[in-house]
Amino acid sequence: MTQILTSRDGTPASRLAFGTMQFGGRANATQSEAMFEASLAAGITHFDTAHAYTGGASEELTGRLIAPHRDRLILATKAGYVGGSTRENILKTFDISRQRLAMDQVDILYLHRFDDDTPLRETFQTLAELKQRGLIRYVGVSNFAAWQVMKAAWVASEFDLAIDILQPMYNLVKRQAEVELFPACADQGIAIAPYSPLGGGLLTGKYAAGGSGRLVEDQAYASRYAPDWMHQAAVGLQKIAADVGIHAATLAVAWAARHPAGPTPIISGRSAEQLAPSLAALDVTLDDALYTRLSALAPTPAPATDRLEEA
């Protein structure tokens, strides 16, 4: 089990997190506020945004909505998606993020992705300084491979700093994180907040019904979820959902949260209505039989050593 992060007043992170990537983009201000209020009412205490989201509108809306509840909520943002993880870029973009959020401090600052071109010592010395100044409380990394997480943790330790949380992709048809990332985090006590538990909407079943969304509108998502077996898994999920009387999206999110490493999936949506089935997963704990049945819809990735007979 990985560690549970807390807010400034000691409130623990909720079982699910809410991602504001859609704020100011596919979700307008009214829709964004409705989703935020629905998340609060359901017990969500962990909210996630990024410097790179929707040209800054996401951070602006997130900051305004969180402000009245600041001390009891965990607020995360990210730096380095564009421009790398140099000292200059982190400081510049984080200053912009804090201005957008109208907050001096964030709880979690993630490196949005691994930067091959910047020495990790430069990056983590910068993050250590931000933490020493009280501008961040936790350090996170996103889209890192396991070896990159461990290398980053080793370098960070030189500055009396730890990697507190990892944000990888993870859902029923994207299970690579199970191979090394989850075991590494469990071993090191690193919290896990995986994104895309619905696979860009694939696992809701809406595309099979002719619906629209990222897999139709965004070529990167279309390519990511192109394999036919993934779509067949989504069809199988719909059948199980009908059998057990639980929405497919609820099952998909509950499945992602059920892993023994204790991940906190990041849910999102375009409207409160669309978000509701994901929020419902807060009240669903899969038993072993249903978890196994759902897991069988997609291939279990081979162990890191590829010794299948030992799996």
Residues 196-213 have pLDDT tens digits of 999 999 999 888 777 777
User: In terms of CATH, what superfamily is 17-198+259-270?
Assistant: NADP-dependent oxidoreductase domain (3.20.20.100)
Output the pLDDT for position 296: 98
Q: What percent of the chain shows pLDDT beyond 90?
A: 90
Q: What is the pTM of this model?
A: 0.96
| CA angle centred on 11, ends 61 and 72, rounded to 5° | 35
β-strand partners of 195: 169
Output the pLDDT for position 1: 59
Output the pLDDT for position 183: 97
pLDDT tens digits, one per residue of 144-164: 999 999 999 999 999 999 999
As a whole number of angstroms, the distance between CA 39 and CA 37 comes to 5
pLDDT tens digits, one per residue of 71-88: 999 999 999 999 999 999
Has 53 been annotated as catalytic?
yes
pLDDT tens digits, one per residue of 24-50: 999 999 999 999 999 999 999 999 999
Please state the φ and ψ torsions of residue 104, each to the nearest 5 degrees.
-75, -40
User: CA torsion sign, 255 to 259 to 262 to 263?
Assistant: negative
Q: Give the CA count within 13 Å in the CB-facing half-sphere of 123.
A: 29
Helix axes 248-257, 288-295, angle to 10 degrees: 100
Output the pLDDT for position 311: 62
If phi > 0 it is left, if psi is from -120 to 50 it is alpha, else beta; for residue 141 that is: beta
Output the pLDDT for position 214: 81
Output the pLDDT for position 190: 98
